[in-house]
Chains A and B, each alone.
Chain A
Amino acid sequence: MSGTGDAPRGPGQGSAVRSAPGQPATEVPLRIRQVTAEDRLTLGGAAIGSLGLIWVLYERVLPFSGAFGFWLCWYLGFLVLYAAAAGLQWRPLVVRDKLMAAAVGSGGVLATAVVLEQIGYSITRGLASVSHLNFFTESMAFASPTSSLRVGGIQHAAVGSLEQLGLATLFSVPLGVMAALFLAEVGGRMERPVRTIVNAMTALPSIVAGLFVYAFAVLTLGLPESGLAASLAVAVVMLPTVTRAAEVVLRVVPGTLREASYALGASQFRTVWNVILPTARSGLSTAVVLAMARGIGETAPVLLTAGFTANPNANPLHGWQATLPTFIFNMIENLGQYPNDVARGLGAGAVLMLIVLVLFTIARLLGGSAPGELTRRQQRQLRRAAAEWSR
């Protein structure tokens, strides 16, 4: 793809610089993809023109309403104006090309806009309740839906979320990494079926995982509806994600490292423990953190297996536990009747969004290095050790 940005450069290709007669032609690289001022002005002009046109037409002249319709009409108007303006300047082939480039670019813009909107919306709407300190220190045990925002908070939900996330990670990560090691290291006849099943498990609706844990652990085994049951359900949801991501990371570890370790006489266990896992550490950490970000947002399976309560319950083995997503769900359910509840729910949404953002940033920071790339501190240690040896 990037090959299109750099055309093969030959001598005298497209150079506009004339060299002195008798001298070889100076090579000026030909820039294939140039965004000229005309491109930018046509694009910007179409956008602004459409905005003005739709603004005038939308609610004044035509009987439309609603912001969604406004931006939809703006987009259509933008495409029409852009096609018209481009048609005045360039031939039809180029117009089609530029129009499709604009259409495709708007996909990227839309994706970015959606993410920013979700983050911005949840944080700004949650500010009203998050600005009170009691929001983080109290639970809803002594607050009723009509009490003001100075009473009550998400302490019980935050504790529940963190406990269940910790337990779910504890259950799913070792099993997931070992399953990934099986796929990458042992393989054999069962490799394809196991991989197919893991891919099928990623399709498991999270509520079915909750149903399963309820049917199995609660009804059959007699485990109480508790944080533990919920963490089992979340672990079932996290497991295929961890396995798939870990397997991709483990396969990227260079085969030469493995072979070198075996050649030095290491057993397979030692190779995996001392060579492969440390090499893949950054990728594995990323996979784990991304799975955690997914696990903390699970609502449906937790509703089914941990119930919901307004009281703080730090014991995951016994009694109903609230988590941030189930807290949001329960606060929002009675829409309009209890505005303070809705405000609390939105505040919890802001907290949840921030936690996911933090986890995601950690995952990106951890995953930045390639397998085997040493940090600067490790490089310094290596240099010091090499200096010791050569003495």
Chain B
Amino acid sequence: MAAALTSPLPVTADEDVPRRIVSRTSPGDAIFRAVLRASGLSVFLITGMILAFLILRGSWALRADGFSFFTKQSWLFVGNNFGIGGILPDGIIIAVIAMIIAVPVAVATAIFISEYAPDRLRRPLIAVIDLMAAIPSIIYGVWGRFFLVPRAIGTASWLSHHLSFLPAFRITIPVSPSTFVGSPVIAGMVVSLMAIPIITSLSRQVFSQAPQGEREGAYALGSTRWGMVRTVVLPFGRAGVTGAAMLGLGRAMGETIAVLLVITTIPTLNWHVLQSGGNSVAALIALNWNEATAHMLSALMAAGLALFAITLIVNSLAAVVINRSRSGAATAD
């Protein structure tokens, strides 16, 4: 002890080393922390198992069909002819249509809630958006099939007649009462209802983080409320809204039941979006489940793997976009 007291005080910067503080956790706490760590790591385990089992069960079909699994556009029992070359792009088309409808509506709603709504309306509106997210997708699907379809085919028919200079709006099948019924546009409309609450709630959080000083500066320079929103809030929230839109896209691509109830399923690519005929990988799996042979089951697993991979990539990109931005980092959950 005396030696320690007489040892020279550190004189140079290198000798001034921070004291290592060691605290020993009690055995009970060590077990507790280990249990918590195990449950945290279990999410890795679950995700890893999902990937592993899908690859395991789907690889048989992939080996049998080879790369043409991704390019062929057919799904037939006969001859084990399975290919998602048409189904995967069909699903992406529906998701993109859903985004075209959902993003403007969701951003407008988010701006309204965060900038324009009076204080006493804000909490009820946020509750309404949360409720919109909680409504089961089968309710939206049933509504879409029975309520929306009869009322929207008039508009679809008008668009196909008067805007037929756009190749996407042309009709290539004979016109009959069911030409417009199961189209990607109507499926996209129903799916957009499910994407709107996700985009709205995330965008609203992003917009509310816009710096108060910049807002007040805009007002001080004489701008109107919309001018302030356009110059301060929207540029600030650009990355956050992009990330939110990509999250909505991921949700739209994974939607199963609403698409299944509305669309007329075909195995080929249909980019005439106003006419009936479309598909999505999720709807394909749900539809063909019961009558699947072993080979088709493996093909369905492979298709599910492809879908999971795409939604993972889209969501990872969204996370990167959100976290790298000024607005996103503030709202990182």
- Footprint of B on A, CB under 8 Å? 1-5, 63-69, 72, 93-94, 96-97, 100-101, 103-108, 110-112, 114-115, 117-119, 121-122, 125, 175, 178-179, 181-183, 185-186, 190-191, 193-194, 196-209, 211-212, 215-216, 219-220, 236, 239-240, 243-244, 247-248, 267-269, 272, 290, 293-294, 296-300, 303-304, 325, 328-329, 332, 335, 345-346, 349, 352-353, 356-357, 359-360, 364
Q: How far, in angstroms, from A193 to B37 measured CA to CA in the complex?
A: 12
Q: How far, in angstroms, from A244 to B201 measured CA to CA in the complex?
A: 15
Tell me the nearest residue of chain B to A327, going by C-beta. Answer: B138
Interface string of B142-156 (1 = CB under 8 A from A): 110111101111110
Q: Spot the interface stretch: B3-11, B66-74, B81-89, B223-231.
A: B223-231
Docked-complex contact B257 and A215, CB < 8 angstroms: no
Q: How far, in angstroms, from A272 to B314 measured CA to CA in the complex?
A: 36
Classify the secondary structure of B's interface with A.
helix
Q: Give the distance to chain A from B37, nearest Cβ to Cβ, in Å.
A: 6
Docked-complex contact A101 and B225, CB < 8 angstroms: yes
Given contacts A97-B224, A101-B226, A178-B39, whether A110 and B285 have CB atoms under 8 Å apart is no
Docked-complex contact B111 and A107, CB < 8 angstroms: yes
- 6 inter-chain pairs at a CB distance below 8 angstroms, sorted by A residue, are A94-B224, A179-B43, A191-B40, A196-B316, A205-B254, A360-B134
Docked-complex contact A205 and B112, CB < 8 angstroms: no
Given contacts A96-B226, A206-B254, A300-B257, whether A183 and B40 have CB atoms under 8 Å apart is yes
Does chain A have a CB within 8 A of B75? no
Q: How far, in angstroms, from A350 to B198 measured CA to CA in the complex?
A: 24
Q: In the complex, what residues of A have CB within 8 A of residue B215's CB? A: 1, 3-4
Q: In the complex, what residues of A have CB within 8 A of residue B311's CB? A: 203-205
Classify the secondary structure of A's interface with B.
helix
Q: In the complex, what residues of B have CB within 8 A of residue A2's CB? A: 119
Q: How far, in angstroms, from A357 to B333 measured CA to CA in the complex?
A: 27
Size range of the chain B interface in the assembly: 35 or more
Does chain A have a CB within 8 A of B25? yes
Interface-centre pick from B129, B247, B285, B314 (highest chain A CB count, 10 A): B285
Given contacts A178-B35, A194-B44, A215-B54, whether A204 and B139 have CB atoms under 8 Å apart is no
Q: In the complex, what residues of A have CB within 8 A of residue B46's CB? A: 201, 236, 239
Given contacts A121-B147, A207-B256, whether A190 and B40 have CB atoms under 8 Å apart is yes
Given contacts A200-B315, A215-B301, A269-B32, whether A100 and B128 have CB atoms under 8 Å apart is no
Does chain A have a CB within 8 A of B131? yes
Docked-complex contact A182 and B39, CB < 8 angstroms: yes
Interface-centre pick from A64, A68, A193, A349 (highest chain B CB count, 10 A): A68
Q: How far, in angstroms, from A4 to B225 measured CA to CA in the complex?
A: 9
Docked-complex contact B47 and A197, CB < 8 angstroms: yes
Given contacts A3-B216, A66-B151, whether A194 and B41 have CB atoms under 8 Å apart is yes
Q: How far, in angstroms, from A156 to B142 measured CA to CA in the complex?
A: 21
Does chain A have a CB within 8 A of B137? yes
Q: In the complex, what residues of B have CB within 8 A of residue A182's CB? A: 36-37, 39-40
Docked-complex contact B43 and A239, CB < 8 angstroms: yes
Docked-complex contact B155 and A66, CB < 8 angstroms: yes
Q: Give the distance to chain B from A358, nearest Cβ to Cβ, in Å.
A: 11
Q: Give the distance to chain A from B34, nearest Cβ to Cβ, in Å.
A: 9
Near A by CB (< 8 A), chain B positions 106-135 give: 106-117, 119, 125, 127-132, 134-135
Docked-complex contact B136 and A186, CB < 8 angstroms: no
Docked-complex contact A208 and B254, CB < 8 angstroms: yes
Q: How far, in angstroms, from A303 to B134 measured CA to CA in the complex?
A: 20
Docked-complex contact A212 and B142, CB < 8 angstroms: no
